[in-house]
Amino acid sequence: MPAQYSQQIRFLFWSVLIGSYIMAILPQEIAPEIGNLSDKTLHFLAFAVLSLLLNLSYRMAWWKSVLYLLFYACFIEFSQYFTPNRCAEFLDVVADTIGIGIGLLFYWGYKKLEMICENS
């Protein structure tokens, strides 16, 4: 990835991270509804995007990005436990974990395409 994009990708990562936390701790009655998507689908999509952006933004071992994002997923559920009209759910963490894995697959696919383009 060209160097001029790295700061923009980092800004995007942190924006999505902060935005997802704010959305997660808003009381249910004032949280915006995003289409007809289920709660688990939203968790999955958010963490797939976070996983992809984290790995594009920072050079780290894949397992470290998984640990960081799993910690964040658990932190969200812990926060929701104390949020009015929200509850902590184990299945949310499962959806987050699947999203993290899919985000990593997209990242690895991107890196493979990048290598192919560099070698041609």
Domain parsing of the chain, residue ranges: 3-23+36-119
Q: pTM value?
A: 0.91
Per-residue pLDDT of the chain (120 residues; tens, 9 = 90+): 555 568 999 999 999 999 999 999 988 778 777 778 888 999 999 999 999 999 999 989 999 999 999 999 999 999 999 988 888 999 999 999 999 999 999 999 999 999 999 887
List the one residue out of 89, 75, 112 whose CA is nearest residue 39.
Answer: 89
- Are 23 and 33 within 8 A, CB to CB? no
Helix (H) or strand (E) holding 32: none
41, burial (CB in 10 Å: exposed 0-12, middle 13-18, buried 19+): middle
- d(C-alpha 113, C-alpha 13), whole Å: 21
Q: Is 41 helix (H, G, I), strand (E, B) or coil?
A: helix
Map tokens 């594009």 to a residue. Answer: 56
